[in-house]
Structure 1
Amino acid sequence: MKTVKSKDGTVLAYDVHGSGPALVYITGAICFRSFKPILQDVKEFAKEFTVYSYDRRGRGDSGDTAPYSIEREVEDLEAMIDAAGGKANLYGHSSGAVLALEAALRLGDKVNKVVMYDPPYVHDQAGKLTYGQLSQKVHKLLDDGKNKEAMRTFLKGIGMPGMFVWLLPLFPGWKTMVALAPTLAYDIALTQDLPPVERAARVTVPTQIIVGEKSPAGIHDVANQLTTAIPNARFEKIAGQDHMVSAKVLLPVLSRFLKQ
């Protein structure tokens, strides 16, 4: 494990795997660098890239500093890019894709290229209203210290089948998920608004937006909006994949775009 300090003093834990162009992997909600699916992704990506896999603030071995803001998470990314040599490619999955876009807008030539997979902004006003109601419920539960209920409420609210949510406490990783519940507020802050198409039009970093063929229709809509807004953005839909994309299937897509 390596560490680096963000601008506000938060210590970020990260690992480095593989060789090739530097790639900072930005995970989504309830994920951290030693989570088994993330380890599997990194093992695959490391075949083509030097992968910087880090714990976002409040997760795993990283620290946290209140109050939270999106700007602080972008500063975390800047610290990771500096650790990677001062310039890197970014791959963001889910809410991590939102952070990748923010970094493209704010960090200029420190970002080489950006890949976003399934960026989960709300796609229309009706979705924003529904998500806002979910956000209020989750925040209230977190404020009351009811982390288990907050996690269940969030997962059901974003469409996870009720039976699966009910069975989650039987899984070995449930306690870890509950410990990560406070960071749900961070992911909600990242994803509670419509795609920032006006700001996205100012992106100058080469950008690729990817969705899974089986991912929700709202995510496809968001991807289309961003692809239209970002100058020269590339779009790709991966057949047979959903929100939890196979790294083995994704890697050739990443390599084609990032290594050309």
Structure 2
Amino acid sequence: MEKTTVSRDGTRIAYTRSGRGPTVVLVSGALSTGGTMAPLAAALADRFDVTVYDRRGRGESGDTAPYAVEREVEDLAALIDALGGEASLFGVSSGGALALRAAASGLPVRRVAVYEVPYAMDDATARAGAEYRERLTEALGQGRRGDAVELFLRLAGLGEEMIQGARRSPMWAGMESVAPSLAYDDAVMGDNRVPRSEIASIACPLLALAGGASDRWWHEAANAIADAAPDGSYRILEGQTHMVEPGVLAPVLTEFFTR
């Protein structure tokens, strides 16, 4: 059953809770809602009290201008408070960057795990991220939501044929509906580099994951995240890509969150 809580600035945050056990909150990435994390939540619900939520500007959650990354951290603070005052976090992709920021901010986070946070590991990738930010700001400022989605898919490595196929698919309308939140994910990523000093302030255990079938730079980024944390660990999930399978991921998270 969907529930709601209210963030510090009055924004309504919608969430769904399932299972029993220690509290775990799943944080989705770009162009996604809490429903995107539902298969993983189902795989964890036999051991945990699992919550998925719509980040602000998506799904059933509200939005309040002006946006700031701190507001999304406050959203998680309100959510954790509503769930009992303490939780472990798992974030995927840019949702992992938000989970790291929340843990670094001093929220009552027991453990934090992230999967393939897209931090740049070389200057060329960082420059590509800066160019994307400029073009995304222009597209959204002109109301060109479809073009904004295309920019993101291109940055994510999709070819033109796949992008045009996505435009013709039934999913496109849903992606366009949350396109303004692409700017939020971009803001969460900061300067696109691993925020080592911020991660160094995370007091709880941290697990950084990457897929064995993903490009090597994903592995390098996960390793750098773990290396920056006082109590960090790093693991590769063999055979997995950025679209990690819940059945492979869930046992790894279960072991980490119950360690």
AA aligned opposite 2:24: L
| SS of residue in 2 equivalent to 1:208 | strand
AA aligned opposite 1:211: A
1:221-253 deviations in whole A, cap 9, x for unaligned?
A: 211211111112111100000111111111110
TM-score with structure 1 setting the length: 0.95
Matches within 5 A, 1:182-201: 182-191=180-189, 192-201=191-200
Residues 44 and 254 in structure 2, CA contact (< 8 A), matched pair in contact too? no
AA aligned opposite 1:215: S
Matches within 5 A, 1:80-95: 80-95=79-94
Residue number in structure 2 paired with 1:29: 30
Residues 78 and 107 in structure 1, CA contact (< 8 A), matched pair in contact too? no
AA aligned opposite 2:23: A
State the Cα distance separating 1:174 from its structure 2 match. 1.1
1:29-60 deviations in whole A, cap 9, x for unaligned?
A: 0110234xx22222112122111110000000
State the Cα distance separating 1:193 from its structure 2 match. 2.3
Matches within 5 A, 1:15-164: 15-35=16-36, 38-108=37-107, 110-164=108-162
Moved more, 186-195 or 72-81: 186-195
Residue number in structure 2 paired with 1:180: 178
Residue number in structure 1 paired with 2:15: 14
| SS of residue in 1 equivalent to 2:34 | coil
Aligned-partner Cα distance in 2 for 1:101–1:34: 21
Aligned residues: percent identity? Answer: 39
Residues 142 and 150 in structure 1, CA contact (< 8 A), matched pair in contact too? yes
1:181-218 deviations in whole A, cap 9, x for unaligned?
A: 10000111122421111222222111111111122332
Aligned-partner Cα distance in 1 for 2:48–2:151: 37
1:76-106 deviations in whole A, cap 9, x for unaligned?
A: 0111111110000101111111111111111
Aligned with 2:165 (options 152, 167, 182): 167
Consecutive unaligned residues of structure 1, counting only runs of 5 or more, are: none
Aligned-partner Cα distance in 2 for 1:258–1:74: 21
| SS of residue in 2 equivalent to 1:9 | coil
| SS of residue in 1 equivalent to 2:35 | coil
Aligned-partner Cα distance in 2 for 1:40–1:201: 31
Residues 22 and 84 in structure 1, CA contact (< 8 A), matched pair in contact too? yes
State the Cα distance separating 1:161 from its structure 2 match. 2.4
| SS of residue in 2 equivalent to 1:163 | helix
Residues 209 and 236 in structure 1, CA contact (< 8 A), matched pair in contact too? yes
Moved more, 140-149 or 168-177: 168-177
Aligned-partner Cα distance in 2 for 1:212–1:47: 24
Residue number in structure 1 paired with 2:242: 243
Consecutive unaligned residues of structure 2, counting only runs of 5 or more, are: none
| SS of residue in 2 equivalent to 1:194 | coil
State the Cα distance separating 1:120 from its structure 2 match. 1.2
Aligned-partner Cα distance in 1 for 2:164–2:211: 26
| SS of residue in 2 equivalent to 1:34 | helix
Output the aligned Cα RMSD.
Answer: 1.2
Residue number in structure 1 paired with 2:215: 216
AA aligned opposite 1:24: V
Residues 21 and 48 in structure 2, CA contact (< 8 A), matched pair in contact too? yes
Q: How many residues in Structure 1 have an aligned counterpart in Structure 2?
A: 257
AA aligned opposite 1:42: A
Aligned-partner Cα distance in 2 for 1:208–1:150: 32
Runs of 4+ in structure 1 off by over 4 angstroms are none
Aligned-partner Cα distance in 2 for 1:121–1:67: 25
